[in-house]
Amino acid sequence: MLIEIVSSGGFGGVTTPPKKLHMDTAATSEEKRQAYCDAFDPDALSNLSLDGGNPNAADLALYTISVTDDQGQEHVFQIQEDAIPDELLDLIDGM
């Protein structure tokens, strides 16, 4: 599984460059691979994407997460920071 993440926004009025992260789970340990594959499963991310977060929240980052599964199919999700569970944010920080 290939995981690519671009985060943008989050700093009211301050323009910051997007943060780009990339991980090929095949190049990690079995334990880490399983954790990332479970957390970035397209069905799970789809549910987060549909949640949409708090529409009244300000200054939140927006994450564009692209997951290419083992069959080569790419899935792309845009998820607002407040819709992402802390455990998933920790995995993102660990990339």
- Beta strands per DSSP E along 13-95: 19-24, 61-68, 74-80
**Cα–Cα distance measured from residue 93 to residue 67, given in angstroms and rounded to the nearest whole number:** 17
- Predicted confidence at residue 25, as pLDDT, reads 95
Angle formed by the axes of helices 86-93 and 30-39, to 10°? 130
- Predicted confidence at residue 54, as pLDDT, reads 61
Per-residue confidence band for 86, with pLDDT thresholds at 50, 70 and 90: very high
**Cα–Cα distance measured from residue 4 to residue 95, given in angstroms and rounded to the nearest whole number:** 10
- Predicted confidence at residue 19, as pLDDT, reads 85
Domain ranges of the chain: 2-93
The 10s digit of each residue's pLDDT in 19-72 is 899 999 999 999 999 999 999 999 989 988 766 666 666 667 889 999 999 899
- Predicted confidence at residue 50, as pLDDT, reads 65
